[in-house]
Structure 1
Amino acid sequence: MKFLQKTGLFVLLVLLLLSRPMPVSGQLTSQPSNSVEWPNYGNDAGGMRFSPLKQINMANVKQLTVAWTFRTGELELYKGTYAEEKAAFEATPLMVDGTLFFSTPTSRVFAIDAATGQKKWDYDPDVYLRQDLSELTSRGVSFWPTPQVKATASNVAKRIFVATIDGRLIALDAATGKPVATFGKAGSVDLRQGIGNISVTSPPAVVGNTIVVGSSMGDNQRFNYERGVVRAYDALTGALRWSWDPIPRTKGDAGFETWKGPNVGQTGAANAWSLISADAERDLVFIPTTSPSPDYYGGERLGKNLGANSIVAIRASTGKVAWQFQTVHHDIWDYDNASQPVLLPFMQNGKTVPAVAVGTKTGYIFILNRETGVPLLPVEERPMPASTVPGEEAFPTQPVPTTLPALGLQKAEAWGPTPADKAVAQQRIDSLEYKGIFTPPSLRGSLMTPGNVGGVHWGGMCYDPESGLLITNVNRMAAVIRLVPREKLAETVKNDQALLRAETGMQSGTPYVVKRDYMFTKSDKGIMMQTAPPWGTLAAVNLQKGKLEWEVPLGYMMDPEKYPQARQWGSLNFGGAIVTAGGLVFVAASLDGHFRAFKTQDGSLQWEVPLPASGQATPMTYQLNGQQYVVIAAGGHGKLGTKLGDYVVAYRLP
Structure 2
Amino acid sequence: MRTLARLFALLLFAITPAFGWEYWGGDSGGTRFSPLDQITPANVGNLVRAWEFRTGDLESHAAQMARTKFEATPLFVEDSIVFCSPFNEVIALDPGTGEQKWRYDPKISTTQRPGNRYACRGVAHWVDDQAAENAACRARIFMGTNDARVIALDARTGIPCVDFGTHGEVKLDIGKPLTWPGEFQITSAPVVSRGVVVVGSSISDNVRVDAPAGTVRAFDARSGQPRWSWDPLDHDGIEAGTANVWAPMSADEARGLVFLPTSSPSPDFWGGKRPGNDAHANSVVALRTETGELVWSFQTVHHDVWDYDLPAQPTLARIDTGDGMRDVVIQPTKQGFVFVLDRDSGKPVWPVEERAVPQGAAEGEQLSPTQPFPTHLPALVPQQFSLADEFKPLPVIGSPSCDAQLAGVRNEGLYTPPSTQGTVIYPMTGGGVNWGSAAFDPVHQIVYANTSYAVHLVKLIPSVEAEGLKPPPGVDFGRQRGAPFAMTRAVAMSRFGLPCNKPPWGTLVALDLKAGKILWRSTVGSTEDRAPLGMAFKWGTPLVNGVVITAGGLVFTGAMDAYLRAFDARSGEELWQGRLPVPGIANPMTYLWKGEQYVLIAAGGHSEVGTSIGDSVVAFRLARQGEAPSLWSRTIDRPGGRFLGEAMAVVLAIVVVIVLGWRWRRRMKSQQTSMAIGKLL
In the alignment, which residue of structure 2 is the partner of 1:133? 114
Separation of aligned partners in 2, 1:151 and 1:188:
21
Three-state SS of the structure 1 residue aligned to 2:203 is coil
**Are 2:613 and 1:636 equivalent residues in the alignment?**
no
In the alignment, which residue of structure 2 is the partner of 1:44? 27
In the alignment, which residue of structure 1 is the partner of 2:272? 299
In the alignment, which residue of structure 2 is the partner of 1:8? none
The answer to whether the 8 A contact 1:385-1:394 is kept is no
The answer to whether the 8 A contact 1:223-1:508 is kept is yes
In the alignment, which residue of structure 2 is the partner of 1:238? 224
In the alignment, which residue of structure 1 is the partner of 2:522? 552
The 5-angstrom pairing of residues 474-485 of structure 1 reads: 474-485=451-462
The 5-angstrom pairing of residues 95-494 of structure 1 reads: 95-134=76-115, 135-145=117-127, 150=129, 154=133, 157-194=138-175, 197=178, 198-249=184-235, 264=238, 266-412=239-385, 413-419=389-395, 420-489=397-466
Equivalent of 1:62, from 45, 61, 65? 45
Alpha-carbon offset, residue 465 of structure 1 = 1.1
Bigger shift: 499-508 or 218-227?
499-508
Q: Which has the higher contact order (CA 8 A, sep 6+)?
A: 1
The answer to whether the 8 A contact 1:37-1:96 is kept is yes
The answer to whether the 8 A contact 2:57-2:65 is kept is no
Matched letter for residue 590 of structure 2: T
Alpha-carbon offset, residue 426 of structure 1 = 3.0
Separation of aligned partners in 2, 1:640 and 1:387:
33
Alpha-carbon offset, residue 560 of structure 1 = 6.8
Alpha-carbon offset, residue 499 of structure 1 = 5.6
The answer to whether the 8 A contact 2:152-2:160 is kept is yes
Three-state SS of the structure 2 residue aligned to 1:439 is coil
Separation of aligned partners in 2, 1:620 and 1:500:
36
Alpha-carbon offset, residue 562 of structure 1 = 8.4
In the alignment, which residue of structure 2 is the partner of 1:587? 557
Matched letter for residue 20 of structure 2: E
Three-state SS of the structure 1 residue aligned to 2:326 is strand
Matched letter for residue 444 of structure 1: Q
Three-state SS of the structure 2 residue aligned to 1:487 is helix
Cα–Cα, structure 1 residues 367 and 350, in superposed 2: closer, same or farther, change >3 Å? same
Bigger shift: 600-609 or 196-205?
196-205
The answer to whether the 8 A contact 2:361-2:367 is kept is no
Alpha-carbon offset, residue 195 of structure 1 = 5.5
Separation of aligned partners in 1, 2:235 and 2:90:
37
Bigger shift: 428-437 or 94-103?
428-437
Matched letter for residue 397 of structure 1: T
Give structure 2 stretches of 5+ with no counterpart: 1-15, 179-183, 624-681
The answer to whether the 8 A contact 1:343-1:354 is kept is yes
Three-state SS of the structure 2 residue aligned to 1:528 is coil
Equivalent of 1:528, from 498, 509, 522? 498
The answer to whether the 8 A contact 2:433-2:544 is kept is no
| Percent identity (aligned) | 42
Give structure 1 stretches of 5+ with no counterpart: 1-32, 251-261
Equivalent of 1:620, from 576, 580, 589? 589
The answer to whether the 8 A contact 2:527-2:534 is kept is no
In the alignment, which residue of structure 1 is the partner of 2:673? none
Cα–Cα, structure 1 residues 66 and 443, in superposed 2: closer, same or farther, change >3 Å? same
How high is the TM-score relative to the length of structure 2? Answer: 0.84
Cα–Cα, structure 1 residues 179 and 349, in superposed 2: closer, same or farther, change >3 Å? same
RMSD: 2.0
The answer to whether the 8 A contact 1:35-1:626 is kept is no
Matched letter for residue 541 of structure 2: S
Cα–Cα, structure 1 residues 514 and 627, in superposed 2: closer, same or farther, change >3 Å? same
The answer to whether the 8 A contact 2:194-2:290 is kept is no
Cα–Cα, structure 1 residues 393 and 88, in superposed 2: closer, same or farther, change >3 Å? same
Cα–Cα, structure 1 residues 372 and 153, in superposed 2: closer, same or farther, change >3 Å? farther
Cα–Cα, structure 1 residues 284 and 35, in superposed 2: closer, same or farther, change >3 Å? closer
Cα–Cα, structure 1 residues 563 and 124, in superposed 2: closer, same or farther, change >3 Å? closer
